[in-house]
Amino acid sequence: MLALWLFRALSAGGLGVIGWRLGLYISELSIDKAEFLPWGLASTLAGVIIGGVLVPYLILKPWR
């Protein structure tokens, strides 16, 4: 059980960082610098949610 939560935390953190870097790249390409929801925040939150919920389900579910 602890291994599952550790895996969820690591995958959420990893994909959150990847989403943050992707958001920085996209924000440099966009013309409107001041938006209501910055690209970095949106992609970081999406990466954390995908990493914490979807990745462990896709990897660990076939093993069971």
pLDDT value, residue 26: 80
DSSP string, 23-46: HHHHHHH-S----SS-HHHHHHHH
The answer to whether the CB of 56 falls within 8 A of the CB of 8 is yes
Question: CB neighbours of 56 closer than 8 A, spacing ≥ 6?
Answer: 4, 7, 8, 11
> Is the model's pLDDT at 8 over the cut of 70?
yes
Q: End-to-end distance of the chain based on CA atoms, in angstroms?
A: 14
Q: How far apart are CA 14 and CA 54, in angstroms?
A: 13
- The pLDDT tens digits of the residues spanning 16-53 come to 898 888 888 887 777 666 555 677 788 888 989 888 88
